[in-house]
Amino acid sequence: MSARGQNSGQPSWGAYLDDLVGEHGSLAAVSERLAATHNWREEVESITRALRRLKDRGSLPGGKWGDRLLRTFGLPHSVDARLRFMGSYHSRFVDLPVPLCSDLVQLWDRPPTSESRPGRLWLSLARATLALRAQQPEEARVHLHTAKASATGEPAAQVEVALGESLLVSRERPNVAADVLAEVPAWLAQLHGDDADCLRARYIGQRSHALNHAGAVDEAEALHRALPDGPEVHPFARSRRANGIAYGRHRHGDREAALHHARLAARHAGDAGHVRLRAMALLMIARVSPRSPEGDEARQRASAIARALDDATLLARCAASERDRG
């Protein structure tokens, strides 16, 4: 949160105020800004005393003054970036073991971060992803509902919520999952850079899943081929694109092309350190070539990753791959 907050690994009102003092020069300057937002109805000295008391509250609820600080100044950029990292499925946060992720989210899910709108939003998304990885769909649904209430005006978060909801719906009613994604193109149009690449690739992946389920394999593959590809595109997005094409080629019986794209998917994932995504690409290699030395090795490597991450969803996919091998 500041150098102090980051070293301690724990958010606190003291660390938050240290950040504000570093930015504005003094606690009195912070108090003056707060006084100005309320037309100087309170004395600066009185506000300063209240802020000194708040500094000693650690991670307890901030009350009136905590709320006013957050509404006036928001969270430091470094904290906002960390929260987004934890709440974004395509970040490398999901490449950490599930128990460690849970501990980190728990650590940050306290005041002042939990009393801010961005904190509630991104921590709820992080908890939703953890619930999905733990195969707890009802818990994921609750956290997505909480995140949705705070996501307005945050297109990246709105896409995250829609993708999560669509994933849950697809497991029960695959024919209507696409309806949940209706507004996603408009939100994607507001995004640029790596987030846009990764979220677009995930969106296409979910649309393609529904199309493949309906037998429209050519249309699903075409959507993946239309995604941008090149060194300027984030490796996560390139991996998802290649894996989608690999599945389409596999469904058409084009084994060599399917293996080529599955290997590309594994390479792109590995280039960015996305070990969970790499495991999914390895499982695609095993799907395409189930009874070959390469397929067996890929399945074993994916299973090792799943065990290391303590990821119930990934472990279930590995078990399904083993059954498919026969």
Residue-wise pLDDT for 211-237, tens only, equals: 998 899 999 999 999 999 999 999 999
Kindly give, in sequence order, each residue whose CB lies less than 8 Å from that of residue 147, ignoring residues fewer than 6 positions away: 87, 120, 121, 122, 124, 125, 128, 157, 160, 161
Q: Which helix (H) or strand (E) holds 292?
A: none
The number of C-alpha atoms within 13 Å of 256 and in the hemisphere containing its C-beta is 0
* 183 phi and psi angles, rounded to 5 deg: -90, -5
Q: What is the pLDDT of residues 155-193, one digit of tens each?
A: 999 999 999 999 998 877 766 667 889 999 999 999 999
List own/partner pairs for 190-195 with CB under 8 A and 24 or more apart.
190/155, 191/155, 191/156, 191/159, 194/234, 195/88, 195/90, 195/156
Angle at 103 between CA 3 and CA 234, to 5 degrees: 75
Comparing CA positions, the residue from 170, 119, 116, 113 lying closest to residue 140 is 170
pLDDT at 3: 38
pLDDT at 213: 87
pLDDT at 7: 39
pTM exceeds cut of 0.85: yes
pLDDT band at 1 (very low <50, low <70, confident <90, very high): low
* pLDDT at residue 2 greater than cutoff 60: no
pLDDT at 11: 84
